[in-house]
Structure 1
Amino acid sequence: MLQTVFFRNSFIFLLCVLSCKKQEESQVPYYNTPDFTPYFLSKGEASEKITHKISHFSFKDQDYKTISDKNINGKIHIASFIFTSCGSICPIMVRNLGLVNQKYSSDPDVVLLSFSVTPWIDTSPKLKAFKESHKIKNPNWHFLTGSKGEIYNLARKSYFAEEDLGFTRDSTEFLHTEHIILADRNKKIRGIYNGTLQTDIEQLIRDIAILKKE
C-alpha cells in the first residue's frame, strides 16, 4: 500500500515538474506593437499572428565591416542604442551588457548590436577604440554607425526602442533610451529590458537561454 502511494505521488510530482518546465519554456512573449503588449503564443500561433519583425538594415561596424539584417538570419540578437561620449546611461548599459557577453561570447548564434545614436561623431575607428577600451573581444558584438536617419528610423519603427513615445516622435529628435531589445531567430521582438538595471539584464540572459531551446 505504502509503495503504491509512493509511486503515485512520485508520478504526480513528475507531472508537476514537466508541466512547470513546459510553462517556463513558454514564458518569453512576443511583441507586435510599440505599446509592448505581450502575446504568449506557440511558435505556430506566432507565425500567423505576429506580423512585426525587424526590417532590413545595413551599417558599418567598428572594423568597417558591413553588418546587415542578413547577418542575424537564424540568430538571436540583442539591440542597444548608445553613443561613445555619453556620460550617463550608456556606460552602465555597456557594463551590464558585459554580463550577456560573458555568457555568450563564444556562441555564434547570439549577436549583440549596439547602434550609435551619434553616428556623425562615432566613426568606425572611434567605435573600435570604444570597444577596445571596454576590453570587448567578442567578434559577435558589433558597434554600428551609418546614416542618422536610418538608425533612428530602425530604432523607433522597427525595434520600438522608445515604445509609444518614440514611435510618434519626429525622426530628427535625439534618440536616447535605456531600452535593450531582444529578438529571436525569426527577427521577432521577444523582450524589452532596462539596460541600467542588472536585474533586467539577468532576466535577459534567462530569456536568451529559453529562446535557444525553441
Structure 2
Amino acid sequence: MYRIVYLLLSSVLFISCNQNQNQNKNKKEKVALPYYNEPTFTPIFESNKALVEKRISHKIDDFSFLNQDSVLINQKIIEGRIHIANFIFTSCGSICPTMTKNLKMVSDSLANQKNIVFLSFSVTPWIDKPYVLKRYKRDNEIENKNWHFLTGNKADIYKLARQSYFAEEDIGFSKDSTEFLHTEHFVLVDKNKRIRGIYNGTLTFEMEQLLDDIRTLSTEK
C-alpha cells in the first residue's frame, strides 16, 4: 500500500517538475529574439555578446533627413534606442492608411515609453515635403513626439530602405531608386541598430507580436 502511494506521489512530482521545466524553457525561448543579417531574413539566434559582435555584422547605416517639422533627423536619434521603421507615401490609397492606423495602435500602447522611436520614411519625397507630412501626421491624430515622418533625397531613402532595412526583403535588395519602393513591412531594430523583427503592417494581429517583441527587446541588456 505504501509503495503504491509512494509511486503515485513520485509520478505527480515528476509530471510537475516536467511542466515547470517546460514553462521555464518557454520563458527563455520567448526572451531570445533572432538577429537578421541578410535580406533573406534567415534568423540567427545568438545570446553570447561576443559572438553577436562577431557574427552579426549588419547594422542600419547613417542617415540624415528632414522630419515633418523641418528638423534634421539623423542616426543619433536611434542610438541606444529601439526603433520601428516603415515606408509610406501620403497619397497612397491602398495599404498606407492601414499601416499608419496599425502603427498608431502600437505607438499609443507605448505612449509612456520615451525610448521607443518610430520612423516613417516617405517613398515619394518629391511630393511629401515637410508641411505635407505634418498635415498627414495631424490628420491621423498622431501625437507621439518620437514618431518622425521623414523626407529627403529619393536615392538616399531608397538605398537606406533596401540595403539597410531590407524593406522589400531579398526581392528588392539589388534594386535602385529608378524602381518604385512599396512595402507593407514594419522593421524592428534594437538599441545597437541591428534588425530583430519584420512584420506585415497591414495585419492587426501582427501588431500584438510587434508589441511583445518590443517589450522583449526592452529587457535586453
How big is the shift at 1:31? 0.4
Partner of 1:47: 53
Q: What is the CA–CA distance in structure 1 between the aligned matches of 2:213 and 2:96, rounded to whole Å?
A: 22
Report if the CA contact (8 A) 2:159-2:176 is conserved: no
Q: Structure 1: give runs of 5+ residues left out of the alignment.
A: none
Report if the CA contact (8 A) 1:106-1:138 is conserved: no
The alignment of Structure 1 onto Structure 2 pairs a total of residues equal to 213
Report if the CA contact (8 A) 2:61-2:164 is conserved: yes
Partner of 2:121: 115
Other structure's SS at 1:99 match: helix
Letter in 2 for 1:70: K
Considering only aligned residues, what root-mean-square deviation do their CA atoms show, in Å? 1.6
Partner of 1:203: 209
Letter in 1 for 2:212: R
Distance 1:64 1:43, change over 3 A: farther
Other structure's SS at 2:173 match: helix
Q: What is the CA–CA distance in structure 2 between the aligned matches of 1:124 and 1:170, rounded to whole Å?
A: 24
Taking every aligned residue pair, what percent have the same amino acid on both sides? 54
How big is the shift at 1:104? 1.1
How big is the shift at 1:138? 0.2
Q: What is the CA–CA distance in structure 2 between the aligned matches of 1:41 and 1:109, rounded to whole Å?
A: 24
Work out whether 1:38 is the aligned partner of 2:43.
yes
- The aligned runs of 1:60-209 (5 Å cut-off) are 60-209=66-215
Deviations, residues 153-196 of structure 1 (Å, cap 9, x unaligned): 10011001111121111322111111111100100001111111
Q: Structure 2: give runs of 5+ residues left out of the alignment.
A: 1-5
The alignment's TM-score, normalised by the length of structure 2, stands at 0.90
Partner of 2:3: none
Q: What is the CA–CA distance in structure 2 between the aligned matches of 1:15 and 1:168, rounded to whole Å?
A: 45
Other structure's SS at 2:171 match: helix
Q: What is the CA–CA distance in structure 1 between the aligned matches of 2:21 and 2:41, rounded to whole Å?
A: 33
Query: Larger Rg: 1 or 2?
Result: 2
